[in-house]
Chain A
């Protein structure tokens, strides 16, 4: 999420600054990357439960730590964030 907001990526607002508290950084993880990205956190489940357009691949970007193994990660953003 930080990487997206620092680079003004449209569709990822991150209103809460990465506190898992606004769900404005909702993304869909490309299925090929799901294992490497890992599972949803507890607070993330609570917030995702309220978003429009929830899918199996939904994550909050602020709950994903970016490291070298995620270089090349593919995500899509929901239409409602545009």
Chain B
């Protein structure tokens, strides 16, 4: 990669800055650290000096929050859902209870309602069902890769990552394929936040767009509720006993959950994996020599990228965590991105290793009752992508630096120039 100011020098400067700041000024939810990919240094210091850390964010609605940065503490919080609730929302931003921007979705619910709604959709992405998708994913992946220009720089995010994940999502919803880019658009709109990103649409504009999404999906719901149950997600929601009586806002919230969950995450792992292999060419060589390593590499890509950097929880009672007194009502960010770089749990965490020991032991899917419901589908999509890439291209080169998304929650890319031959 070419850059006038070499990446290594910039990284060293950013690290020095993170270590020079007074501890109480470290605020990992600052989206700037994600735009320039320097937040890792903040986490490196916090894991060492203050692993459960209290910050004050200048962003209204985030305010005071705890950062949980070590692997084992994250595992503890994630697996104690009675003490650390999801009802307060899954991102650090607080909205008033009656604010319609506070979307109702099962990931932001506690049992028993969470369990019932989750079980209504989980069969579609359950391992037993994946064989139904395997051939279709392979065909579509092949078609997308075959359509790429050769020996010419193009945007990998748009032409590969977005295209493939959006195709998959349209398939799961049985959504009209010609309109599939609407899903990408709605996914971006739903995670857009004016308070953390000045380029994002105003809240009223965002809600107006989400209402259009709801109208579109309500049309699909109405068609399917009157037909026999089918295996797509809309039909499952319309017929499932736990979901068929959802109000419009709850339907909207769960759509957002499934659209973002199935879109941003895999999309950014598709881009992040390519970047990682470019940064570690010896790993690419290992992979070329032995494509059977793809399966383990997929887990390593998901660890490396950590496409959702954190999940938020709210303490239900006074408690202690890592020697800190947590008060009832306090909010915490479980920084999966940090736990996935914790050397006390992961050997040589700052290296991307395609044949890592126990690659499945990473935090990116979360743990406990909210663990990613689509994890096996995501792994399947990535596995097929890399099998089909290796089969087709002798060279796949990153031609410049990626453009990163301005968000501390979705850790992703909006552009990556790539050339294949």
A35 to B79, CA, bound (A): 27
- Closest B-chain residue to A42, C-beta based? B82
Question: In the docked arrangement, what's the CA distance between A50 and B123, Å?
Answer: 11
Interface string of B54-84 (1 = CB under 8 A from A): 0000000000000000000001001101000
B363 to chain A: closest residue by CB? A16
| Known contacts A15-B361, A20-B79, A21-B78: A47-B126 contact under CB 8 Å | no
**B128's contact among A16, A19, A47, A80, by CB below 8 Å, is which?**
A80
| Contact A79/B128 with A19-B367, A47-B369, A49-B115 known, Cβ cut-off 8 Å | yes
- Verify B127–A80 contact, CB threshold 8 A: yes
Q: In chain A between 6 and 23, which residues have their CB closer than 8 angstroms to a CB of chain B?
A: 13-17, 19-23
B122 contacts A19, C-beta separation under 8 Å: no
Complex CA gap A20/B369 in Å reads 10
Main secondary structure of the interface of A (DSSP, over half): loop
Q: Are A15 and B115 in contact (CB under 8 A)?
A: no
| Cα-based distance from A63 to B357 in the complex (angstroms) | 23
Contact (A17, B369) CB under 8 Å given A46-B81, A46-B111, A52-B128 = no
Once the chains bind, are A16 and B122 in contact (CB under 8 Å)? no
The minimal Cβ–Cβ distance linking B419 to chain A, given in whole angstroms, is 36
* Cα of A80 to Cα of B131 in the assembled complex, Å: 11
In the bound assembly, the distance between CA atoms of A47 and B365 in angstroms comes to 15
**A81 contacts chain B at the CB level, 8 A cutoff:** yes
Interface residues of B in 92-128 (CB under 8 A from A): 111, 115, 118-119, 122-123, 126-128
Cβ of B371 within 8 Å of any chain A Cβ, yes or no, is yes
Question: Of the candidates A13, A52, A81, which one forms a contact with B360 in the assembled complex, judged by CB atoms under 8 Å apart?
Answer: A13
Once A21-B78, A21-B79, A79-B128 are accepted as A-B contacts, the answer to whether A46 and B369 lie under 8 Å apart by CB is yes
Inter-subunit contact A21/B75 (CB<8 Å): yes
Q: Is the CB of B81 within 8 A of A16?
A: no
Chain A contacts of B201 at CB under 8 A? none
Please indicate the chain B residues that have their CB under 8 angstroms from the CB of A17 in the complex: 358, 361
Q: How far is the CA of A82 from the CA of B128 in the complex (A)?
A: 8
Contact of A50 with B369 at beta-carbon distance under 8 Å, contacts A15-B360, A15-B361, A19-B75 already known: yes
Q: How large is the interface on B (under 10, 10 to 19, 20 to 34, 35 or more residues)?
A: 20 to 34
Shortest CB distance B363–A (Å)? 9
B368 interfacial by beta-carbon distance below 8 Å: yes
Q: Please report the C-alpha to C-alpha distance between residue A17 and residue B75 in the assembled complex, in whole angstroms.
A: 10
In the bound complex, residues from chain A placing their C-beta under 8 Å from that of B75 are 16, 19, 21
In contact, A21 and B367 (Cβ under 8 angstroms)? yes
Roughly how many angstroms separate A46 CA and B128 CA in the complex, as a whole number? 22
Pick the contact of A50: B78, B119, B358 (CB < 8 A).
B119
Q: Please report the C-alpha to C-alpha distance between residue A45 and residue B369 in the assembled complex, in whole angstroms.
A: 11
Select one of A5, A22, A79 contacting B367, CB under 8 A: A22
Is the pair B367, A50 in contact by a Cβ cutoff of 8 Å? no
A23 partner residues in chain B, CB cutoff 8 A: 371
Chain A's nearest CB lies how many Å from the CB of B339? 12
Chain A residue numbers with a CB within 8 Å of B118 are 50
Residue of B nearest to A46 (CB): B369
State whether A21 touches B371 (Cβ < 8 A): yes
Q: Write out the residue numbers on chain B whose beta carbons fall within 8 Å of the beta carbon of A49.
A: 111, 115, 369
A22 touches B371 (CB 8 A): yes
Q: Is A34 an interface residue (CB 8 A)?
A: no
Say yes or no: is A64 at the interface (Cβ < 8 Å to chain B): no
Identity of the chain A residue whose Cβ is nearest the Cβ of B71 in the assembled complex: A17
Chain B nearest CB: distance from A3 CB in Å? 15
Q: Find the A residue at minimum CB distance from B362.
A: A15
Contacts of B81 in A (CB 8 A): 46
A-B contact list, 13 entries, CB within 8 Å = A14-B360, A15-B360, A16-B361, A19-B75, A43-B79, A49-B115, A49-B369, A50-B115, A50-B118, A52-B126, A52-B128, A80-B127, A82-B127
Instruction: Name A's B-contacting residues (CB within 8 A).
Output: 5, 13-17, 19-23, 43, 46-47, 49-50, 52, 79-82
The 5 residue pairs across chains A and B that have the minimum distance between CB atoms: A21-B367, A21-B79, A80-B127, A15-B360, A80-B128
List 8 other contacts, CB 8 Å, given A46-B81, A81-B127, A82-B127: A5-B358, A15-B365, A17-B361, A21-B368, A23-B371, A46-B368, A50-B118, A52-B126
